[in-house]
Amino acid sequence: MSSPAYALAGESYAALGVDTEVVLKRLAAIPVSLHCWQGDDVGGFEHPGAGITGGGIQATGNYPGKARTPDELRADLDHALALIPGRHRLNLHACYAEFGGRKIERNEVNTSHFESWIQWAKDRGLGLDFNPTYFSHPLANDGATLTHRDPGVRQFWIDHGKACRRIGAEMGRRLGSPTVTNVWIPDGSKDLPVDRKGPRARLEASLDAVFAEKLDPRHHRDAVECKLFGIGSESYVAGSHEFYLGYAVSRKILVCLDAGHFHPTEGIADKISSTLQFVPEILLHFSRGVRWDSDHVVLFDDPTRAIMEEIVRGEFLARTHIGLDFFDASINRVAAWVVGVRGTLKSLLWALLEPSAQLRALEEAGDYTSRLALLEELKSLPFGAVWDEHCRRANVPVGPAWLPVVKAYEKTVLAQRT
């Protein structure tokens, strides 16, 4: 039995030609890739006390209770996943490898270092996504990795990328769902570089070496992520949007669009239909930049909805991998996941509930008055009742009822971590 509020909401949407039952079925089948790094401030477990060093990214805040071990991180993820409707994916970074106390270099990582993660994902029926880690490492601390002037350092990072692609493909094979392995490097310059060309030429050659091995697309996809600037790379980033767009188009691989990686008022929604005109698929990093690429928790807000509207309107869902990229250390980290994933899913539901046939007909008829009027009226439809029904059917808390669950977990588990 559906709730009375949902039954009424269904009638409102039906009057506009939208079948909420069809929408809820579609929504339930779309996975979001949860980023593991929200749980420990992008620290990873390569060695005790690991944390972000350099790389132009930074987690701020010191809220107590961050995961200190892979087991703690997995427990926190389980807790978050139980409060989020649907079946999703986990996005891992190479620095979350488990070495069992041994010292393993990044160019030597292999699937055996991710066995516990693969088993964890398998037990829960989740797919995995993956990322080589090109930061928080002595050989990255001068701000260069794949663009490095020193061929030896470059080779080290090329080997890391190759190793990670193999791990990604193996994860995809074992879990029966292709892994997207996303390459993001921090390489850039704090102050005005004289040579902007050299690092980009080296980056192209390094990427070609990383991607040289052909991997089965049934198990694996490659993505490259651009960025405008970072902390310490304000004046120049080698892997800019133009660079990676050109690279991905010419190699027919995925472009990763991170919502925080452009000029402060520039959204990524309008980039989707342009990019997908020329590359097979895209990866999205949902994030919320506040005045800069600050990686705040994703919300059910205008920019997030605009991205989802584009994906749905363009019928791009099958060619879009939905990922998250935020890290807030100033609030409960499990709650951050729950807020961010629920906000992402709400935005997706919002887009799926749009009466697209009607809006399109108005546009094609040149009736822009009605198009604008209808878009505005949609905002006060009983959206919340449909979202609540989705949560109810997925057996997760409805509305703010998830919050006391996280608060109890904080008291019994997180607060005990010192």
Catalytic residue set: 184, 225, 227, 258, 261, 285, 293, 295, 325
The vertex-81 CA angle with 83 and 88, nearest 5°, equals 125
Among positions 89, 221, 285, 288, the unique one binding ligand RNT when judged by CB under 6 A: 285
Q: Which is nearer to Zn ion, 88 or 285 (CB)?
A: 285
For 34, phi then psi, to 5°, come to -75, 130
Please report whether residue 46 would count as binding Zn ion according to CB under 5 A: no
Q: How far is the CB of 322 from Zn ion (least distance, A)?
A: 13
CB of 135 to ligand RNT, least distance (A): 8
CB of 184 to Zn ion, least distance (A): 6
Q: Which of 9, 23, 34, 57 binds ligand RNT (CB under 6 A)?
A: 57
| Minimum separation from the CB atom of position 285 to Zn ion (A) | 4
Pairwise CA distance, residues 183 & 135, whole Å: 12
Interface characters, 241-280, with ligand RNT (x: CB under 6 A):
-----------------x----------------------
Q: Closest CB to Zn ion among 211 and 326?
A: 326
In the shown chain, the binding pattern of residues 131 to 160 toward Zn ion, with x for contact by CB under 5 A and - for none, equals ------------------------------
325 binds ligand RNT, rule: CB under 6 A: yes
Can residue 184 be called a binding residue for ligand RNT (CB under 6 A)? Answer: yes
DSSP category for residue 401: G
Tell me how far apart the alpha carbons of residues 244 and 249 are, in angstroms, rounded to a whole number: 8
Smallest CA-to-CA distance from 257 within 323, 316, 159 is with 323
With CA atoms as reference, report the closest residue to 69 among 47, 92, 91: 47
Query: What are the b/e assignments for 131-154, b being 16+ CB within 10 Å?
Result: bbbbbbbebbeebbbbbbeeeebb
- Tokens for 324? 């998250």
Distance CA 215, CA 168 (A): 10
Q: Please list, in sequence order, all residues whose beta carbon lies within 8 angstroms of the beta carbon of residue 33, skipping any fewer than 6 positions away.
A: 88, 89, 90, 91, 127, 129, 180, 321, 322, 323, 324
Distance CA 381, CA 14 (A): 11
Q: Of residues 316-355, which lie at the interface with Zn ion (CB under 5 A)?
A: 325
Q: Which residue is nearest to ligand RNT (CB)?
A: 184
**Residues of this chain, 248-277, that bind Zn ion according to CB under 5 A:** 258
Query: HSE of 327 in the Cβ direction (CA atoms, 13 Å)?
Result: 18
- 227 touches, from Zn ion, ligand RNT, none (C-beta below 5 to 8 Å by class): ligand RNT
Burial (0-12, 13-18, 19+ Cβ within 10 Å), 392: middle
Nearer to ligand RNT, 285 or 296 (CB): 285
Q: Cα(383)–Cα(371) distance, rounded to whole angstroms?
A: 19
The answer to whether residue 46 forms part of the interface with ligand RNT (CB under 6 A) is no
Q: How near is the Cβ of 205 to ligand RNT at its closest, in Å?
A: 22
Q: In whole angstroms, give the CA distance from residue 166 to residue 163.
A: 5
Task: Name which position in 285, 296, 342, 390 contacts Zn ion (CB under 5 A).
Answer: 285
- Does residue number 321 form part of the binding site for ligand RNT (CB under 6 A)? no
Closer of 79 and 160 to Zn ion (Cβ): 160
> Is the distance from CB of 325 to CB of 35 less than 8 angstroms?
yes
Give the residue, chosen from 20, 33, 38, 131, that forms a contact with ligand RNT under the rule CB under 6 A.
131
Applying CB under 6 A, among 10, 18, 30, 37 the residue interacting with ligand RNT is: 37
Should residue 328 be labelled a site residue for ligand RNT when binding is judged by CB under 6 A? Answer: no
- Where do contacts with Zn ion occur on this chain (CB under 5 A)? 258, 285, 325
Which residues sit at the interface with ligand RNT, rule CB under 6 A?
37, 42, 57, 93, 131, 184, 225, 227, 258, 285, 325
